[in-house]
Amino acid sequence: MRVKSYTKNYFDALYEIEKEAFSDFWSEKGMKEELALSQAHYYVAEEDGEILGFAGYWLIIDEAEIMKVAVKKQHRGKGIGDALLKAMIEDSVSLGAKKILLEVREGNTPARKLYEKHGFISYATRENYYQGKENAVLYKKNL
Ligand SMILES: CC(C)(COP(=O)(O)OP(=O)(O)OC[C@H]1O[C@@H](n2cnc3c(N)ncnc32)[C@H](O)[C@@H]1OP(=O)(O)O)[C@@H](O)C(=O)NCCC(=O)NCCS
């Protein structure tokens, strides 16, 4: 499995994973706009020509913010999320990031464990942030 930078030819595969992974998935138009932003850095995990996951972050000056990490359901638990997060941390450092931030649903245990494994520390909660129902937990990691 290799982590590579996103290019447009991966869009359809990436968007299938987006729809599978998130109940509040982005629209196709919104996703295309996101991927085209100059501050957005997206990656795909590929094996034997198949896209198994993707992830992306924004870099603004020296602050990175993780936007998404998603792995195809049948390929979870095999280290792909780990590899995508590691790639984002390393690449953001090489581009000058001094810290990296993210927010995640309070109940999303797999994602929270993944971030905590990579040294992210939770520092705040936003009450009822998601559709007025679920809390967001904010994490950061100094690089
Ligand atoms: C979160 C997600 C990206 C993890 O991807 P993955 O490829 O299954 O994760 P990995 O196999 O690389 O596991 C890495 C670490 O994540 C944590 N983790 C992953 N799945 C977990 C689970 N079901 N329960 C608890 N911790 C879990 C563990 O810390 C694990 O490390 P370990 O194996 O040494 O214990 C995946 O579950 C996913 O796509 N979820 C839906 C999308 C989402 O919610 N994304 C995050 C918000 S943007």
Supply 92's token pair.
């953001």
Please give the average per-residue pLDDT across 98-119, as a whole number.
98
Q: According to the model, what pLDDT value does residue 132 have?
A: 83
Q: What is the DSSP string of 48-105?
A: TTEEEEEEEEEEETTEEEEEEEEE-GGGTTSSHHHHHHHHHHHHHHHTT-SEEEEEEE
Atom of ligand 1 nearest to the CA of 79: 12
Atom of ligand 1 nearest to the CA of 77: 11
Q: According to the model, what pLDDT value does residue 84 have?
A: 98
Phi then psi for 83, rounded to 5 degrees? -65, -40
Specify the DSSP element, H or E, that contains 132: none
Q: What is the pLDDT of residues 52-66, one digit of tens each?
A: 999 999 999 999 999
* Pocket test residue of 47, 58, 114 for ligand 1, highest count of atoms within 8 A of CB: 114
**pTM value?**
0.97
The whole-angstrom separation of Cα 114 and Cα 59 is: 21
Please give the average per-residue pLDDT across 124-141, as a whole number.
94
Yes or no: is domain 2-101 CATH 3.40.50.300? no
Q: According to the model, what pLDDT value does residue 81 have?
A: 98
Expressed in angstroms and rounded, the spacing between residue 82 Cα and the centre of ligand 1 is 8
Please give the average per-residue pLDDT across 60-81, as a whole number.
98
